[in-house]
Structure 1
Amino acid sequence: MKTKFILFVRYFLVLLFVYAAVSKLVVFDEFKVQLTQSPLLSAYAGSIAYMVLLIELSISLLLVLEKTKLLALYLSYGLMVAFSIYIYLILNNSDFIPCSCGGVLEKLGWNEHLWFNITVCIFTLLAIYFLDTKAKSFYFFSVLLTLISVLIVILLFVSSEHIIKKQNPFIRRYLPHGVAEKDTLDLNVNTFYFSGYYKDKVYLGNTRSPLRFISVDSLLQREDYLIKIDSTQFKYTYLRLKTAYPYFYLADGSIPIVYKGQLNTTQKTKQTEVFSFQQAYFNDFIPIDSTSVAIKGQSSQDYKNVLGVINSKNTPSVSIFPELLQSDSDGVFDSDGAFSYSQSKENLIYSYYYKNKYFITDKNLVLLKRQNTIDTTKTALITATELASGERKMTTPISAINKKVVVKNNLLFIVSNSLGQNESKAIWKQASIVDIYDFKKDSYIASFYIYHLGKEKLKDLIVTDHYLYGLFDQKLIRYRLAKSLTDKFD
Structure 2
Amino acid sequence: MKKIADSIPTLTAYFFVLLFCYAGISKVLDFENFQVQIAQSPLLSAFAGFTSYSVIAAELIIVSFLLVPRLRTIGLYASMGIMTAFTIYIYLILNYSDFVPCSCGGILEKMGWTEHLIFNIICVLLSLAAVIIIERQTGTAKLKYILSSAAVIVSSSILVIILFLQSEHIIKKENNFTRKFLPNFLMEAGKKSLNHTDYYFAGTDAENLYLGRRGTPLILTEIDHKLKNMTTTKISLDHSDHPFKSLQIKVRAPYLYLYDGTVPVIYRGHLKDSIARTISKGDAYFSQLAVKDSSDFILRTQDSRTHQYTIARLKIAQKSTTTLFPSILEKQIDGIFDCDGMLIENQQHREEFIYVYFYRNQFIIIGNDLPKVKRQSSIDSIFKAQVKITRLSNGTNIMNAPPVRVNLNAAFYGNHIYNVSGLPGKFEPARLRKGRKAVDIYRTDKGEYIGSFYLPAQKIDDVIVTRHGLYLISGKELLSYQFRKSL
How does the TM-score come out when normalised to structure 1?
A: 0.92
Q: 1:46: Cα distance to partner? A: 1.0
Contact 1:348 1:365 in 2 (8 A): no
Question: Which AA in structure 2 matches 1:273?
Answer: R
Per-residue deviation, residues 273-292 of structure 1 (Å, max 9, x unmatched): 32322100111111122331
Contact residue 288 and residue 363 of structure 1 kept, 8 A: no
1:21-40 superposed matches below 5 A: 21-40=24-43
Say if 2:135 is the partner of 1:132: yes
Question: What is residue 234 of structure 2 aligned with on the other side?
Answer: 226
Tell me if 1:16 matches 2:19.
yes
Match among 257, 260, 265 for residue 252 of structure 1:
260
> Is residue 442 of structure 2 the alignment partner of residue 440 of structure 1?
no
CA positional deviation for 1:345: 7.6
Cα displacement (A) at 1:108: 1.5
Residue from 462, 472, 475 that aligns with 2:474: 472
Alpha-carbon distance in 1 for matches of 2:114, 2:447: 32
Residue deviations 1:213-240 (CA, integer Å, cap 9, x gap)? 2222232122222222211111221111
What corresponds to 2:199 in structure 1? 192
1:272 and 1:463, CA in 2 relative to 1: closer, same or farther beyond 3 A?
same
Amino acid at match of 1:83: F
Q: Which stretch has the larger CA shift, 101-110 or 318-327?
A: 101-110
* Cα distance in 2 between the residues matched to 1:183 and 1:325: 38
Q: Which among 79, 94, 97 is matched to residue 94 of structure 1?
A: 97
Paired residues of 1:407 and 1:463 also in contact (CA < 8 A): yes
Whole-angstrom CA distance in 1 between matches of 2:473 and 2:40: 28
The alignment of Structure 1 onto Structure 2 pairs a total of residues equal to 478
1:317 aligns with 2:321: yes
Corresponding residue to 1:237 among 220, 239, 245: 245
* Cα distance in 2 for residues equivalent to 1:258 and 1:110: 59
RMSD of aligned alpha carbons = 2.0
Aligned to 1:116: 119
Cα distance change on mapping 1:114 and 1:429 into 2, 3 Å: closer
Task: Please identify, of 142-151 and 218-227, the stretch whose mean Cα deviation from structure 2 is larger.
Answer: 218-227
**C-alpha distance in 1 between matches for 2:132 and 2:172:** 43
Give the SS at the match of 1:431.
Answer: coil
Q: Tell me the SS of whatever aligns to 2:268.
A: strand
Secondary structure at the aligned position of 1:160 is classed as: helix
Match among 60, 84, 87 for residue 84 of structure 1: 87
- Deviation of 1:137 after TM superposition, in Å, equals 2.4
Q: Cα deviations across residues 113-140 of structure 1 (Å, max 9, x unaligned)?
A: 2122112112222222333324322321
SS of equivalent residue, structure 1 residue 318: strand
2-structure distance, mates of 1:119, 1:273: 76
CA contact (8 A) 1:405 1:415 kept: yes
Indicate which of 46, 70, 75 corresponds to 1:72.
Answer: 75
Change (3 A) 1:346 1:155: farther
The equivalent of 2:464 in structure 1 is 462
Question: Secondary structure at the residue paired with 1:174?
Answer: coil
Question: Once the two structures are aligned, what percentage of the paired residues are identical?
Answer: 37
Q: 1:224 to 1:52 in 2, by over 3 A?
A: same
1:408 Cα deviation after fit: 1.1
- 1:13 maps to amino acid: F
Amino acid at match of 2:252: A
Which whole-Å CA distance do the structure 2 matches of 1:200 and 1:14 have between them? 62
Specify the code of the residue in structure 1 equivalent to 2:89.
Answer: Y
Greater displacement, 77-86 / 359-368: 359-368
Query: Given the alignment, which residue of 310, 314, 318 partners 1:306?
Result: 310
Code of the residue aligned with 1:325 in structure 2: it is L
Report if aligned partners of 1:291, 1:311 keep a CA contact under 8 Å in 2: yes
Residue 70 and residue 234 in structure 1: after superposition, are their counterparts in 2 closer, same or farther (change >3 A)? same
Change (3 A) 1:466 1:114: farther
Q: Is the 8 A contact 1:303 1:391 kept in 2?
A: no
Work out whether residues 302 and 390 of structure 1, in 8 Å CA contact, stay in contact via their aligned partners in 2. Answer: no
Shift of 1:399: 4.5
Q: Quick check: 2:38–2:104 contact (8 Å CA) kept in 1?
A: no
Q: Distance in 2 between matches of 1:314 and 1:232?
A: 23
- For 2:32 and 2:431, locate their aligned partners in 1 and report how far apart those are by CA, in whole Å: 15
Q: In the alignment, which residue of structure 1 is the partner of 2:182?
A: 175
Cα distance, 1:52–1:428 mapped onto 2, change above 3 Å: closer
Task: Find the residue that maps to 2:274 and give its secondary structure.
Answer: strand
Letter in 2 for 1:405: A
Whole-Å Cα distance in 1 between the matches of residues 68 and 149 of structure 2?
Answer: 21
3-state SS, counterpart of residue 373 of structure 2: strand
Q: SS where residue 43 of structure 2 aligns?
A: coil
Q: Give the direction of change, closer, same or farther, for the CA distance of 1:24–1:200 in structure 2 (3 Å limit).
A: farther
Deviation digits for residues 11-45 of structure 1, max 9, x if unmatched?
21111111000000001122112111111111211
Which of 398, 407, 410 is 1:405 aligned to?
410
Q: 1:382 to 1:41 in 2, by over 3 A?
A: same
Q: Does the C-alpha gap of structure 1 residues 426 and 441 become closer, same or farther in structure 2, counting only changes over 3 Å?
A: same
Contact 1:256 1:282 in 2 (8 A): yes
Secondary structure of 1:25 counterpart: helix
For residue 102 of structure 1, what is the amino acid of its counterpart? Answer: G
The Cα offsets for residues 307-334 of structure 1, whole Å up to 9 and x where unpaired, read as 1111224844211111211111111101
Check the 8 A contact 1:309/1:364 in 2, yes or no: no
Residues 345 and 410 of structure 1 are in contact (CA less than 8 Å); yes or no, is this contact kept in structure 2? no
- Distance in 2 separating the partners of 1:124 and 1:346: 61
Distance 1:79 1:34, change over 3 A: same
TM-score (norm 2): 0.93
Query: Once the 2 structures are TM-superposed, how far is the Cα of residue 83 of structure 1 from its aligned partner?
Result: 0.6
1:61 paired residue among 21, 40, 64: 64
Specify which of 368, 376, 397 is matched with residue 371 of structure 1: 376
Q: Is the 8 A contact 2:36 2:427 kept in 1?
A: yes
Shift of 1:250: 1.3
Shift of 1:190: 1.2
Q: Aligned residue for 2:159?
A: 152
Q: Could you list the runs of 5+ residues in structure 1 that have no partner in the other structure?
A: none
Sort the Cα spacing of 1:270 and 1:122 in 2 relative to 1 into closer, same or farther, 3 A: farther
Q: Is the 8 A contact 1:430 1:451 kept in 2?
A: no
Q: Quote the offset at 1:475 in angstroms.
A: 0.6
Asked whether the 8 Å contact 1:299–1:306 carries over to 2, the reply is yes
Task: Report the Cα distance in structure 2 between the residues aligned to 1:44 and 1:443, rounded to whole angstroms.
Answer: 18
Deviations 1:69-118 (A, max 9, x none): 22222211111111111111122222222112221221212222212211
